[in-house]
Amino acid sequence: MVLADLGRKITTALRSLNSATVINEEVLNAMLKEIVTALLEADVNIRLVKGLRENVRAVIDFDEMAAGLNKRRMIQSAVFKELVKLVDPGVKAYQPVKGKSNVIMFVGLQGSGKTTTCTKLAYHYMKKGWKTCLVCADTFRAGAYDQLKQNATKARIPFYGSYTEIDPVIIAQEGVAMFKKEGFEIIIVDTSGRHKQQDSLFEEMLQVSNAVSPDNIIFVMDATIGQACEGQSRAFKDKVNVGSVIITKLDGHAKGGGALSAVAATQSPVIFIGTGEHIDDLEPFKTKPFISKLLGMGDIEGLIEKVNDLGLEDNEELIEKLKHGHFTLRDMYEQFQNIMKMGPFSQIMGMIPGFSQDFLAKGSEKESMARLKRLMTMMDSMNDGELDNRDGAKLFTKQPGRIIRVSCGAGVTEREVRELLTQYTKFAAVVKKMGGIKGLFKGGDMGKNVNPNQMAKLNQQMAKMMDPRVFQQMGGMGGLQNIMRQLQQGAGGLGNMFGGGAGGSAPSGSGGGRR
């Protein structure tokens, strides 16, 4: 993501304050100049950039400032606030309501990523336990229905569409009515786009909107079009009641600044960003965590949310077992399932301060997941007695015949099974000590939420389990300790980051891990 460059440049500018002996007008101006240049290079609208500079300058009045005040801190937090303002229209996004039908309509130009994002969003809600479905009201583009059907089938999401009906309004109406009757909670309507903003497109959009009365209209915007984002989003906003925005293609080479600053034009909140073609490549967008992450401060809130999504509170049985020092192979199997459910490993890593999104190469991530799956396949070949045995590994050492049986069943070598058991024994020891993954996160405020020690242990074990090479890429133990140090600092809240001095999480802090 090219936005990461922007983040690095702004962080460098902010850090220049730390090395200055005296903070005066000159130092401030030099820093602002650097930030302004970086923002303009990232395609952020010039009017907004000017506004940002003026607002920061207005906050800092050197003549009036008392000598004892921490000027560095004030300047840095003013910049942070202004950056947040840049992407925050101050409007709350529509929140779907459980137990009722929420109709969400997608609009946007052809190729912006509507159909792809519809499926991603449906998948997102489905994973969270909502009754979700898709309606294809695009009769303009050849093969549009097939595309949606294929995506939906792969993700097992119910869908509605037609090969014969040519009126999108009728399809939308029928599909939404049917799903409403069946008690679906999230009904997503995909519409057609045109190559350009045409009257005919807007006319059709209005008719579909009138026919299904959506609770929320999501405007999908392609980040790669840069400065053109602003005009485009204005045009859509003028025609229909756009409630939220999703920015797509923020992976690749998009500068992103154009799309992000178009938020000001729509006065609608960005709710998600698309970061790839895969169904999992959709990230909830929240302004403060986004800016924190951009500046290399990590996204602790997002990480906690992911863990909460897993609903580990329900896992009282496991907690109870752990209290008594039991951790079976089946428990490990379930923990693996949780890790897989949390989504791509790199996404999780990207939320940890000091790590960047693109930290793990896609290739090695796939390998890690494949390795985890292989371990699970071996466990699939075990019987209940083995999986639930409280000394899982001992049973196998006492009766080596079991190892042979599992290796045959899973189509792996005996050595691999032995390795799995060794890893399990180590994993169990760590997990027992920390009281389960849930033990990582305690209630209370954000600063106290993450227990860095336990996080370190888990990560260490997870990385080892998944692939020794990945572990090395992470900079081995040194790298991990570094991350944890950063996590500790980051978890203290933004106040710590801007506390002046050398504190905070320099992006360079991830040791040998960064490439």
Residue of this chain nearest to ligand GDP (CB atom): 274
Strands in 47-191 per DSSP E = 102-107, 132-137, 159-160, 186-191
Among 175, 214, 257, 276, binds ligand GDP (CB under 6 A): 276
Q: Which is nearer to Mg ion, 144 or 211 (CB)?
A: 144
Residue of this chain nearest to Mg ion (CB atom): 115
458 alpha-carbon distance from chain centroid: 20
Among 45, 101, 102, 116, binds ligand GDP (CB under 6 A): 116
Distance between start and end Cα atoms, the chain:
14
As a whole number of angstroms, the longest Cα–Cα distance in the chain is 82
The tokens for 296 are 């290399």
- Residue 276 binding target from ligand GDP, Mg ion, none, CB below 5 to 8 Å by type: ligand GDP
d(C-alpha 305, C-alpha 285), whole Å: 12
Interaction pattern, residues 72-111, with Mg ion; x per rule: CB under 5 A: ----------------------------------------
CA distances from 318 to 303, 309, 443, 480 (A): 22, 17, 19, 27
- Residue 274 binding target from Mg ion, ligand GDP, none, CB below 5 to 8 Å by type: ligand GDP
Single-letter amino acid code for the residue at 453: N
Q: Say whether residue 274 binds ligand GDP (CB under 6 A).
A: yes
Single-letter amino acid code for the residue at 266: T
Q: Which of residues 187-246 bind ligand GDP (CB under 6 A)?
A: 193
d(C-alpha 164, C-alpha 178), whole Å: 18
Q: Which is nearer to ligand GDP, 25 or 277 (CB)?
A: 277
Question: How many CB atoms sit inside 10 A of residue 94's CB?
Answer: 18
- Residue 275 binding target from ligand GDP, Mg ion, none, CB below 5 to 8 Å by type: ligand GDP
Among 54, 277, 380, 414, binds ligand GDP (CB under 6 A): 277
d(C-alpha 74, C-alpha 18), whole Å: 12
Q: Say whether residue 117 binds Mg ion (CB under 5 A).
A: no
Among 45, 76, 112, 115, binds Mg ion (CB under 5 A): 115
Closest distance between ligand GDP and the C-beta of residue 139, in Å? 13
Q: Where are the alpha helices (DSSP H) in 42-91?
A: 46-59, 71-87
Q: Say whether residue 292 binds Mg ion (CB under 5 A).
A: no
Q: Say whether residue 108 binds ligand GDP (CB under 6 A).
A: yes
Q: Say whether residue 111 binds ligand GDP (CB under 6 A).
A: yes
Helix axes 25-41, 71-87, angle to 10 degrees: 20
- Phi, psi at 354, each rounded to 5°: 95, -20
Residue ranges binding Mg ion (CB under 5 A): 114-115
Residue ranges binding ligand GDP (CB under 6 A): 108, 110-116, 193, 248-249, 251-252, 274-277, 281
